[in-house]
Amino acid sequence: MTRVEVRIDVTDRVATGERLVMVATVVADRPRLPDRPTVMFGFPGGGYNRRYFDLQPSGRPGYSQAEHHAGQGFVFVACDHLAVGDSSVPAAPLGEEQVIAANKALVAGVLMQLAAGGIDGIPSVREPVKIGMGQSYGGFLLTLQQARHRTFDGVALLGWSGVHTVVPIADGRDVSVAFTALPTSGLGHPFRHAFHFADVDDAIVDEDLRGYPYRVGVPVPTWAATSLPGGPNAAIRDLLGLHAVATEAAAIDVPVFVANGEVDVCPDPRAEPAAYVRSPDITTFILPRSAHMHNFAGTRMLLWNRLAAWAQCVAAMCRVGR
């Protein structure tokens, strides 16, 4: 398995007057790569960095979505938004157009390096089918990016609603409770029910949710971020409003894969296709025994395999069209 960290300069695309670099990890299994591999790009949600797609919790095997897909013959690119993970933190908060422009530039930069054979251990990948994958907040940003820039041949929106995203808090309190006085234990976090199904190991839940989302004064897991994309107070719209992305969702004209856990932020997964009126192919999937953070669920491989099968169908459709 080949893992290579790449750094892409997005200074010109963001145009803040400062040098800004984004970081991604490219994962591939060279012996399993077909002649024309599909490239998957994963964008994490709020409070998480690119390692959400390449989890190694407490040294436990079998949690890395990137490894799983690489083993299926895909090239997987796990991405850090600006102000997240190892990417640059802008001096001032960005607007949503800048965050989207930066993500577009990251994708273009990685594809350029892949085409040139400039990523160690990975042979040249030219004109691949491109799959964009966004989890939660990452799904929100991916919706905007795809609508405006048509970056990908297919988009997978994981734990995100094109109609109305709502965090189901068990006692009915407002989502703002996650930004106020939080318990020192992640097991008592108000998002416990929404983020992790009951059978997820308590040690993982505690590590993941302690102090979420900003985790001030607590140990920060390797997969976590202490800032939202674009930086604190980034000028990005309220993503939880009814029809918050209706215009953008309706503009997406490529295949769409919508996945949610049995407990998740999408009130009615079966109503999601109505948001994507221009998409030629809409797939919905509900992951059993999973809450919002799918990659921690005991059933996570069901989702990964369903995603892989869908991506292969997208690739087949693209190659017929080409």
**Tens digits of residue pLDDT in 52-105:** 999 998 778 999 999 999 999 999 999 999 999 999 999 988 999 999 999 999
Antiparallel, parallel or unpaired: β 154-158 and 39-43: unpaired
> What gap in Å lies between CA 167 and CA 275, rounded to an integer?
19
pTM to 2 decimal places: 0.95
Q: What does the pLDDT read at residue 173?
A: 67
Q: How many CB atoms lie within 10 A of CB 240?
A: 14
> What gap in Å lies between CA 21 and CA 23, rounded to an integer?
7
108 closest CA partner among 41, 51, 157 = 41
Q: Which amino acid is residue 16, in one-letter code?
A: T
Instruction: Say if CB 124 and CB 116 are below 8 A apart.
Output: yes
List strand residue ranges (DSSP E) for 44-119, in order: 75-79
What are the angstrom distances between the C-alpha of 29 and each of 3, 7, 125, 196? 9, 20, 13, 30
Instruction: Say if CB 251 and CB 278 are below 8 A apart.
Output: yes
Helices (H) and strands (E) in the chain, counts: 8, 8
User: Order of strands, edge to edge, in the sheet holding 39-43?
Assistant: 2-9, 21-28, 75-79, 39-43, 130-135, 154-158, 256-261, 282-287
Q: What does the pLDDT read at residue 178?
A: 65
**Over the range 63-77, which residues count as b (16 or more CB within 10 Å of their CB) and which as e?**
bbbbbbbbbbbbbbb
Q: What does the pLDDT read at residue 217?
A: 85
Residues in the chain: 322
296 closest CA partner among 69, 64, 49 = 64
- Contacts for 241-244: CB closer than 8 Å, 24+ residues apart: 241/164, 242/163, 242/164, 243/163, 243/164, 244/140, 244/164, 244/165
132 closest CA partner among 119, 115, 150 = 150
pLDDT for 217-232, tens place per residue? 889 999 999 999 998 7
Q: What domains sit in the chain, N to C, each tagged with a CATH number?
A: 2-165+230-321 (3.40.50.1820)
3-state secondary structure at position 184: coil
Q: What does the pLDDT read at residue 181?
A: 59
81 closest CA partner among 26, 39, 138, 40 = 138
DSSP 261-293: ESSSS-S-GGGGGGG-TT-S-EEEEEETT--S-
Mean pLDDT, the chain cut into blocks of 10 residues (322 residues total): 96 94 97 93 97 90 97 98 96 92 98 93 92 97 97 98 89 68 80 95 94 88 93 75 91 98 95 97 98 98 98 93 63
Q: Which amino acid is residue 65, in one-letter code?
A: Q
> What gap in Å lies between CA 297 and CA 147, rounded to an integer?
30
Q: What does the pLDDT read at residue 104?
A: 98
What distance, in Å, lies between the first and last C-alpha atoms of the chain? 30
